[in-house]
Amino acid sequence: MRVDMTADRRLGSAGIRVLDLSRLLPGGFATVLLADLGADVIKVESPDGGDYGRLVDPATFAALNRNKRSVVLDLRDPAGRETLLRLVERSDAVVESYRPGVLTGMGVGYERLREVNPRVVLCSITGFGQTGPYAARPGHDLNFLALSGFFAVPHRPGESVDRVGVRVADLAGAMYAALSLVVAVAAAQECGEGQHLDVSLHEAAASWAGPLALPLLGLADPADSPLVTGDNDVFTVADGRRIAFASFEDKFWLVFRKAFAAEFPELDDDQYDRRADRTRARKEVRELLTAVFARRDLAWWCAELSRLDLPWAPVYETPGEFLADEHVAARDLVGVLPGSATAGPCRQVRFPVRFGAGLDSLRGAAPGHGEHTAEILAELER
C-alpha cells in the first residue's frame, strides 16, 4: 500500500476504512494515528453512553478521537451485529479491545468477519494477548509495565525505578497495533487474504524494555550497566526547579567543566574527563553535579548554559511551560482543534511527523456519541 499524504490522496481517500470497536487509550490511540493519516475511522459505540472516556476524561477523549466518525450499534442485539457485519464487508480493518473470546462469543469473531470479507484484518488489543496463562487476566498500564522488565532498567545507582505518568505500555502497544495494521492491510490488498493481529500491551512494553533489560543478566548490581551514569540525570537547582543534564560524551563534559570551573572550583579537576572514569565513579559524579546545580537558580543556569553547546534542558512540569516553548511554537507542534457538538475548541498536539507533501492532522473534532449514525447507515444503502 502506497501512503501518499497529499491533500487529495490520503489513506481515507484511497478507500482505507477502519472500524474501531475499542474503548479508552490503547485502541483509541492506535486508530487516531490512522485517522490523522487520513483513514476513514468509524468508532462503533454502544447505546449506553459509548466509550467510557467520554465521561472519565473528556479532554483526553477529544485528543484520541479526532478525525473519526461515530456510529451507535448495539452488538448485544442481532440487528446491531448484522449491521456491523455489513460495515465489515466494506472495511479493511477492525480494531477491538475486548478480553479474548468476547467478540467470538457475540458471534462476530475473526472467523465470522472473514466469512463476510476475506480481506479484513482484525486487530485485537489486549493486556496479555489471546493465549497463555495470563490471557484472561484483567490489567492496566502499570500492571503490564511491572511484568515487562520496565522496572528492571535502573536510571541511577542505589535507587529503585518508579513509574512515569505517561501510560507507556498502552501507547507502545497502540503504536505496534497501528504499524502492524497498516502492513497487514497492505498485504491483504496484494494477496486478497486478511489476518488476525494479536497485540499484547505487556509484550509491547517488554519490546521497549528488552534491549536495555536483558543485557543486565549476570550483573550482580543492575546499576553497573554502562548506561547508568552520574552525569546523565535530572538535578534540582537553588529555587527548587529542575534541569535535565546529559553530558554522556567526553566532549560535553569537558565543555561544561571548563566553562564553570572558575565559578565552581570543585569542577577544576580532570579525574572524570574520560567516559570510563565517570561511569566507574557514577555515584561521586552525581553527587558532584547535585551540589553544583543546587547553588544557582534556574534563570541563572538557563542563561549560562544557553551560551554553550551542551545537551541540557529545563524540566517542564506544567503544560503551560511546554506550550510557551519557542521551539514548540516554531514547529507548530500544537494546534487548536475546532469545537465539537459536546466541547469547545481545544489545543492538541499534531501528528508528530512532517510530510513533505503536507498533512493536516487537526482536521475534525472528536465526534459526539452516535453523531454519524444516520450518515453511515445511509452509506450502506448505496
- With a cut of 90, say whether residue 9 has pLDDT above it: no
Reported as a pLDDT band with limits 50, 70 and 90, residue 120 is very high
With a cut of 60, say whether residue 325 has pLDDT above it. yes
pLDDT of residue 161: 85
| Residue ranges in 149-224 assigned as alpha helix (H) | 168-191, 201-213
Whether 10 shows a pLDDT value over 50: the answer reads: no
Nine-digit cell string for 267 = 569542577
Pairing of strands 17-20, 68-72: unpaired
Assess whether pLDDT exceeds 90 at residue 80.
yes
Report the pLDDT value the prediction gives residue 11, as an integer from 0 to 100.
52
Q: Tell me what the pLDDT averaged over the chain comes to.
A: 93
Contacts with 245 (C-beta within 8 Å, 6 or more apart), sequence order: 231, 232, 233, 234, 235, 256, 289, 293, 310, 311, 312
pLDDT tens per residue, range 194-225: 999 999 999 999 999 999 999 999 888 888 89
Helix orientation angle between 201-213 and 141-148, rounded to the nearest 10 degrees: 40
Q: Is the pLDDT of residue 370 over 50?
A: yes
Residue 174: pLDDT band with limits 50, 70, 90: very high
Question: What is the Cα–Cα distance from 6 to 356, expressed in whole angstroms?
Answer: 9
Q: How confident is the model at residue 6 (pLDDT cuts 50, 70, 90)?
A: very low
User: Which whole number is the average pLDDT over 19-27?
Assistant: 96
Residue 345 banded pLDDT, cuts 50, 70, 90:
confident
Confidence at residue 2, expressed as pLDDT on a 0 to 100 scale: 38
Bridge partners of 233, per DSSP, are: 245
pLDDT of residue 341: 56
Sign of the CA dihedral 103, 108, 110, 111? positive
In Å, how far are 258, 301, 318 from 254, measured between CA atoms? 6, 17, 32
- Binning pLDDT at 50, 70 and 90, where does residue 340 land? low
* pTM score: 0.92
* Predicted local confidence at residue 3, as pLDDT: 41
Q: What's residue 382's pLDDT?
A: 85
**Higher confidence at residue 24 or residue 122?**
122
CA–CA distance, 152 with 215 (Å, rounded to integer)? 11
Summarize pLDDT for 246-299 with one digit per residue, the tens.
Answer: 999 999 999 999 999 999 999 999 999 999 999 999 999 999 999 999 999 999
Query: Is the per-residue pLDDT at 7 higher than 50?
Result: no
Enzyme catalytic residues: 170
Evaluated on CA atoms 54, 328, 36, 201, the torsion sign reads negative
How confident is the model over 99-111, as a mean pLDDT? 96
pLDDT at 4: 42
Of 81, 52, 86, the C-alpha closest to 378 is 86
User: Which range has the worst mean pLDDT, 43-57, 130-144, 298-312?
Assistant: 43-57
Report how far residue 10's alpha carbon sits from residue 35's, in angstroms, rounded to the nearest whole number: 10
pLDDT of residue 91 exceeding 80: yes
Non-local (6+) Cβ contacts of 201 within 8 A are: 26, 125, 126, 127, 128, 139, 141, 144, 169, 170, 172, 173
